[in-house]
Amino acid sequence: MSMIDMSKFEKKMIIRHIEEKDFDAIINMQKLCFPDMEPWEREHLESHLDIFPEGQFCVEYDGEIIGSCSSLIINFDEYDDQHTWDEITDNGYITNHDYEGYNLYGIEVMVHPEYRRMKIGRRLYEARKDLARELNLKSIIIGGRIPNYFKHAKEMTPRQYVEEVTMHNIYDPVLTFQVMNGFTLKRINQNYLEDDKASLRYATLMEWNNIDYRPTMPKRQFKTSFPVRITTIQYAMKKISSFEDFAVQCEHYTDVAASYNSDFAVFPEIFTLQLLSFLPEKSPSLAIRRLTEFTEDYIELFTNLALKYNVNIIGGSHFVEEEGKIYNIAFLFRRDGTIEKQYKLHITPNERKFWGISGGDNVNVFDTDCGKIAIQICYDIEFPELARIAVNKGANIIFTPFCTDDRQGYLRVRYCSQARAIENQVYTVLSGTVGNLTDVENMDIQYAQSGIFSPSDFTFARDGIVGECNPNIETVVVGDVDLEILRRHRRAGSVNQLRDRRHDIYEINYKQD
């Protein structure tokens, strides 16, 4: 008798995180599971992966997606008892996800109709429980539908119905399942999900408590404030004789920032053009090629300064040659010695004409020991889409190194920076160059008034100005921005530009990963 090929009988089922390739299958499955309700849009799922990919699970069975669930982390104490699904999820985009929260909030579970009674939902719930244990979250909370309630609404109230289901006198496909999976009832919410007609818009607020939760972990301590101190440097472009002169000037300002216990020191855009004041090349395009030869010296200098002075440095920006092209790149030098970079995306006509600069392609958001930050170089801050993308990715501070030659150019950068702070409920920081470089073509005059800006509301500084330099002098400004105040403002400000966006009529389609 020949050996049996057992492989032909095998079925492969895996629980994994959702990927972009799964979006179409998930949307189609949702239409089958909830035919009378509005399904996810791709931008919802994209936002979930951008903000909290760890909380998005799917079940794959022989290459087919047959189940999925979505969730976010919140501090549940900050939400009203009678909250709605839209309030908890920011209309499905989960931009209110809080990594420092205590509770995992489940916003959807679905199983393909053809694969029910295979414990798919239970597997997804177990994945959530494992995640809650891994992240040391206090509990999992869900707003559960009661889709059979419409059959009993004439005879009993929602509470009576829930009690009957809990006592197993009535079967409800959602509530019965949740009770069997260890969730207990907290309360019943009205008008929870607008298009849930079967539940008559009622929902059961259910909770599963993580018995392994450890409340003494440092990351779970409640913050009354989360101050971040920033020193932004209004840098003088004056003639120097060597790279060592440049290094002395940079170290002086890093030392100043460190002496004020700053978390960030911020230098201006293309301030390394000061190096051209001792190079003999007069042609702008050839001079820039010469300047790129200092890239390794520049990176080594600021890496050492960040480590030596224990301060994160936004190293202005520097022209870098890569594969024959010149890019304007801003570097983040973390105080732990690691380095990141952000390419300038929008190149000004002046940069293109004199120096032949090429633009980058990605909007990056960087993790730091003071939360997530973004860098948008000069002209980039004048394009509102970039700031919105960065904030959607979690940025709390947007740093803008800039270089402008006259007041009109400066005001374009400043007004746009302050507008981005208001539109996105985010802090913004400007650092510019002043002085004159009489021997450097296209860098002969400078105009700047560097500053630190906030949203405009009662909880922030008057006029939305945390601090600003006097115009056109070599100096610094030091200011504290409070990320806890920012978080609360996004939750309950006088207005809420992030939450009140009309996703139903407009969107930003970011084409890069």
pLDDT band for position 224 (50/70/90)?
low
Query: Residue 472: how many CA atoms within 13 Å on its side-chain side?
Result: 8
| pLDDT for res 235 | 97
Token output for 115: 């694969």
What percent of the chain has pLDDT above 70? 96
326: helix, coil or strand?
strand
pLDDT tens-digit readout, 276-296: 999 877 787 888 899 999 999
| pLDDT for res 491 | 81
pLDDT band for position 170 (50/70/90)?
very high
Please give the Cα distance from 269 to 346 (Å, whole number): 14
Please give the Cα distance from 395 to 421 (Å, whole number): 11
Please identify which of the residues 33, 378, 403, 416 carries the catalytic annotation: 378
Is 378 part of the annotated catalytic residue set? yes
| pLDDT for res 31 | 92
272: helix, coil or strand?
helix
| pLDDT for res 1 | 46
CB atoms within 10 A of CB 367: 12
Query: Any idea of the CA torsion for 89, 393, 493, 482, to the nearest 10 degrees?
Result: 130
Highest mean pLDDT: which of 63-67, 265-269, 435-439? 265-269
pLDDT tens-digit readout, 377-401: 999 999 999 999 999 888 999 999 9
Please give the Cα distance from 260 to 68 (Å, whole number): 49
Tell me the pTM: 0.66
Cα–Cα distances (Å) from 201 to 39, 92, 194, 401, 504, in that order, read 17, 17, 6, 49, 21
Run of H or E residues at 230: strand 227-237
pLDDT tens-digit readout, 300-336: 999 999 998 989 999 999 999 999 999 999 999 999 8
Pairing label, strands 371-375, 397-401: parallel
pLDDT band for position 95 (50/70/90)?
confident
117: helix, coil or strand?
coil
Cα–Cα distances (Å) from 219 to 216, 306, 416, 490, in that order, read 9, 25, 35, 21
Greatest pairwise CA separation for the chain in angstroms = 93
Closest CA to 122 of 176, 168, 170: 176
What mean pLDDT do residues 92-112 have? 91
| pLDDT for res 128 | 95
Token output for 416: 């746009």
| pLDDT for res 220 | 47
62: helix, coil or strand?
coil
Please give the Cα distance from 401 to 344 (Å, whole number): 10
Using the predicted structure, report yes or no on whether residue 219 has a pLDDT greater than 80. Answer: no
DSSP letters along 458-482, please?
TTS-GGGEEEEPPTTSSEEEEEEEE
pLDDT tens-digit readout, 440-482: 877 778 999 999 999 999 999 889 999 999 999 999 999 999 9
- Sheet of strand 184-189: strand arrangement: 13-17, 57-61, 64-74, 103-111, 139-144, 203-209, 184-189
CB atoms within 10 A of CB 159: 13
Please give the Cα distance from 40 to 19 (Å, whole number): 15
| pLDDT for res 501 | 85
Highest mean pLDDT: which of 29-38, 93-102, 213-222, 416-425? 416-425
Instruction: Say which DSSP state 13 is in.
Output: E
Domains of the chain and CATH, by start: 11-209 (3.40.630.30), 228-492 (3.60.110.10)
| pLDDT for res 5 | 59
Token output for 141: 């909370």
| pLDDT for res 223 | 57
Please identify which of the residues 46, 269, 382, 468 carries the catalytic annotation: 269
Under 8 Å between Cβ of 389 and 342: no
What mean pLDDT do residues 9-15 have? 72
Q: Which residues fall within 8 angstroms of residue 310, CB to CB, at 6 or more apart?
A: 258, 335
What percent of the chain has pLDDT above 90? 68
Can you tell me which residue has the tokens 């929902």?
A: 203
What mean pLDDT do residues 169-177 have? 91
Please give the Cα distance from 51 to 43 (Å, whole number): 12
pLDDT band for position 437 (50/70/90)?
confident
Under 8 Å between Cβ of 90 and 498: yes
| pLDDT for res 133 | 93
| pLDDT for res 130 | 94
